[in-house]
Amino acid sequence: MIKLILLGILSGAFFSTTFVFNDVMSEAGGHWLWSATLRYFFVILFLILVLVFQGGIKRLIDVCKLFMENYWFWTISGTIGYGFFYALLCFSADYSPGWVIAATWQFTMFSGLFVFMLFGKKFPKKIWIFSFIIFVGVCLVNLSHMDNFDLKALLLGGLPVLIASFFYPMGNQLVWEAKNGNHKFVPQITSKLLSNAFNKVFLMSIGSIPLWLILLLIIQPEAPSNSQILTTASIAFFSGILATPIFLYARNLAKDSNEIAAVDSTQASEVGFSLIGGMIFIGNTSLNTASVVGITLIILGLFLFTRYQNA
Q: CA distances (Å), 194 to each of 43, 65, 216, in order?
A: 18, 13, 30
Closest C-alpha among 268, 264, 251 to residue 308: 264
Q: What is the DSSP string of 14-74?
A: HHHHHHHHHHHHHHTT--HHHHHHHHHHHHHHHHHHHHHHHHHHHHHHHHHHHHHHTHHHH
Q: Which helix (H) or strand (E) holds 245?
A: helix 244-253
**What is the separation of C-alpha 235 from the centre of its chain, rounded to a whole number of angstroms?**
12
Residue 285: its pLDDT value, please?
60
- What integer pLDDT is reported at residue 147 of this predicted model? 58
* Res 280: pLDDT: 77
> What pLDDT is recorded for position 88?
95
User: pLDDT digit of tens for each residue in the chain (311 aa)?
Assistant: 678 878 888 988 898 888 888 888 887 888 999 999 999 999 999 999 999 999 999 999 999 999 999 999 999 999 999 999 999 999 998 888 777 788 788 787 778 778 878 887 776 777 778 778 877 887 787 677 655 556 676 788 889 999 998 998 898 889 888 988 777 788 889 898 988 888 988 999 999 999 999 999 999 999 999 999 999 999 999 988 888 778 777 876 767 656 665 676 677 778 778 878 877 776 666 667 877 888 888 888 777 766 665 55
Handedness of CA 139, 145, 148, 150 (dihedral sign): negative
pLDDT at position 303, please?
Answer: 76
Domain regions of the chain by residue span = 2-309
Residue count (the chain): 311
What pLDDT sits at residue 295? 81
The per-residue pLDDT for 56 is 94
Q: What Å distances lie between residue 26 and 13, 231, 242, 282, 283, CA to CA?
A: 20, 11, 24, 11, 14
